[in-house]
A = this chain, B = another copy of it.
Amino acid sequence: MRVSTRFSDSIHLLAYIKIYADTKLTSDAIAQSIETSPVVVRRLMSKLRQAGLITTTPGTAQPTLAKPLSQISLLSVFYAIEGDKPLLAVDPKTNPDCIVGGNIQTVLKQYYQDAQTAAEARLAKTSLQDVVDNILVEQAKKDAHK
C-alpha cells in the first residue's frame, strides 16, 4: 500500500502556521513548503478545522491555531486526519465454519488494539510545541555549521 503522508503533512502545516505566523499564510505559501498543491493544503485544513484545531475564514488567508501548541498532541492531529482508522487491519472475511476462521477476528482484534493503543499513547505524549521546538533546534544546528 502506498503509505499516506497526510498525517506528516498536517503536522508540517500546523508547525508552519506557528513559525511563519508573521508572513502571509495562504494555502499556496504553505503548499510550497510541503511541496504539494494548494488544494491538498486546503483539504488538510478542512479536516483540522472540523476537529477544532485551527480556525480559518473563507475567502481570506491567515489560518490561526485554535489552541496553544502545547495543548495539541500528535495524537489529536492523527485523529483529526485519520479518524479512528486502525494501523493494523484484521481480515474481516474468513470461513466461520473453521475453528480458526471463526474466531481469529475476536482474538486478533484485541492484540491489534493493544498495539495501537501503545502507539497512540506515545503520540499523545508529544505536543506540537515539542515538534516546533525541535525544528528550531535543528535549524539552529544547521545555522551554526554555516
Contact = CB atoms under 8 A, between A and B. Distances in A.
Count this chain's copies in the assembly: 2
Nearest to A3: B89
A28 B16 CA distance: 53
B111 A131 contact: yes
A108 to B, nearest CB: 6
A142 interface: yes
A115 B104 contact: no
B33 A103 contact: no
A115 B111 contact: no
Nearest to A116: B119
Nearest to A86: B3
A30 B1 CA distance: 24
A9 B34 CA distance: 36
A136 B34 CA distance: 50
A122 interface: yes
Given A108-B131, A122-B115, A138 B32 contact: no
6 contacts: A3-B86, A5-B89, A8-B104, A16-B100, A34-B95, A107-B134
